[in-house]
Structure 1
Amino acid sequence: MNNKAVKDVLDEMTKDDLVAWIRNQPFFRPKRSDVLYIRWQRQSAEVLEEMQKENRAFEGIDFKERDRLAVRFNESNDSTEKLRLLELMQPYNKAMQDHIKRSQAFDRKSKRVDALYEQIDIERQKECRA
């Protein structure tokens, strides 16, 4: 018995192969809503995976240390010490700013995916009327 996983024949097909095969199926023609649903399903999984990956990376940053540095900064009257503490806090601040930027990008991408889902409903309504 072969222990290798059997590769799905669809994985072996090129885009042109798939299109030709579908066009040759007399009883199977995907509707636009079906295609949009598949697209939405794939894109939402990608967004969710990216967001989870970002959240796991963000959890690895110790902001308690940044807070301790900030307390020391606020308590200090020495400008040299304050500058040194600011420099120590800078990587934490940058990490937070970068996280916020990536989160905003995820939000924009998520809105596009949500709009795609709304388009599915519109197409289904058109298909029911046709």
Structure 2
Amino acid sequence: MSKHAVKDVLDEMTKDDLVAWIRSQPFYRPKRSDVLYIRWQRQSAEVLEEMQKENRALDGLDYKERDRLAGRFNESKDAAEKLRLLELMQPYNKAMQDHIKRSQALDRKSKRVDALYEQIDVERQKERSS
């Protein structure tokens, strides 16, 4: 067996090639629900991969150090020291804020993918009654 994977002929086809080939098939036409399912499957895999990546985004930051700095900030009475500690905490706070924004965007994307799955059932019901 070759070390190189054999390229699937479908990977070699352009979009126009694929559409023309599908339309030339007299016995099989994909239903809208089939197309939606394939789209949902691809998008849900993308969302899962993005979520896993985002869950690892903060792995390199030591939030115990941030908590230690915050404790020192709370104990300090010196305004200059408080400002210096705030500056030291800023990268941690920004990283967390950015993480929250990305997580919220992923949540919205996930809800759109979920809605796509629900649309598959709607289309299947329409196809059965046609």
Q: TM-score range by the shorter chain?
A: over 0.9
* Structure 1 position 81 matched with structure 2 position 81: yes
User: Tell me, what secondary structure is at the counterpart of 2:20?
Assistant: helix
1:27 paired residue number: 27
Instruction: Give the % identical residues.
Output: 86
Matches within 5 A, 1:1-12: 2-12=2-12
Is the 2:57–2:99 contact (alpha carbons within 8 Å) kept by the matching residues of 1? no
In the TM superposition, what is the alpha-carbon distance from 1:122 to its structure 2 partner? 0.1
TM-score by length of 1: 0.96
Give the deviation of 1:97 after TM superposition. 0.4
Alignment of 1:95-114 (within 5 A): 95-114=95-114
Equivalent pair of 2:63/2:92 in contact (CA under 8 Å)? yes
SS in 1 for 2:58: helix
- 2:37 maps to 37
The 2-side partners of 1:78 and 1:113 are apart by 51
- Determine if the alignment matches structure 1 residue 17 to structure 2 residue 27: no
* Structure 1 runs of 4+ with >6 Å offset: none
> How much has 1:102 moved relative to structure 2?
0.3
Q: Return 5+ residue gaps in structure 1 as ranges.
A: none
Q: Which runs of 5+ in 2 are unaligned?
A: none
Amino acid at match of 2:71: V
> Are 1:57 and 2:57 matched, yes or no?
yes
What is the TM-score normalised by the length of structure 2? 0.96
